Amino acid sequence: MEPLLDAERAAGEALDATVPTTLEGVAAALGHVHAVHAREDYPMLDDYHCYVLIASAARALDRTLEGTHA
């Protein structure tokens, strides 16, 4: 069981550090984390990694907004 938990943890860390390149990507990342929690009543990411995910989404949104003002 421990290898599976390690793999799940690594996948969550990779997801939270990924900066989406589109608004669809932001929605997909946030939607996935929400769906996992809703389905399993289990937080996919701990507090720290939730903040990393929020920062990644914010960077993606900032990039997108910069492109609309160019």
Of 67, 53, 66, nearest to 25 by C-alpha is 53
Of 51, 40, 41, 52, nearest to 14 by C-alpha is 52
Domains of the chain: which residue ranges? Answer: 2-68
- Predicted pLDDT of residue 28: 92
The predicted-structure confidence for 34-60, as pLDDT tens digits, reads as follows 888 888 887 778 888 888 889 999 999
Asked whether the predicted pLDDT for residue 3 surpasses 90, the reply is yes
Mean predicted lDDT score pLDDT of the chain: 86
Quote the CA–CA distance of 14 and 39 in Å, as a whole number: 21
Asked whether the predicted pLDDT for residue 70 surpasses 80, the reply is no
Asked whether the predicted pLDDT for residue 4 surpasses 60, the reply is yes
Quote the CA–CA distance of 47 and 53 in Å, as a whole number: 10
The pTM assigned to this predicted structure is 0.73
Q: Both tokens of residue 2? A: 């421990």
